[in-house]
Amino acid sequence: MSSFDQFLQIPSRSTLFVGDLSYFCTEEHLKRLFAPYGASVNGMPTVSAEIKRGKYGDSLMHGFVYLSSVEAADLAIQDLNNKKFMGRYMR
């Protein structure tokens, strides 16, 4: 693996860990929740999300959200940290 490939695997400050998610939360739910914090670049959405699943397909209750900038990530943290979403308080 090249050093550039290794660099690409290092999470940036615009990647957010979102914990204490509902068991029913999907990637689409996270994308919609964080959409106001990601700008559109050339018509392409800049918010993407992933949910980590357990061994049997159940949610591990956390995910990662990738935003377009550090500023967007900071604003999302400020607005959404400890907010109730789908019956649980995110952190």
For 5, list phi and psi in degrees, rounded to 5. Answer: -60, -40
What pLDDT score does 43 carry?
44
How many C-beta atoms surround the C-beta of residue 34 within 10 A?
22
What is the distance between the alpha carbons of residues 43 and 17, in angstroms, rounded to a whole number? Answer: 25
Read off the pLDDT of residues 22-73 as tens digits, 9 standing for 90 and up. Answer: 888 888 888 889 888 875 444 444 566 777 766 665 556 788 888 878 888 8
Cβ–Cβ < 8 Å for 36, 24? no
Please tell me the pTM assigned to this model.
0.70
What pLDDT score does 2 carry?
46
What is the distance between the alpha carbons of residues 34 and 36, in angstroms, rounded to a whole number? Answer: 6
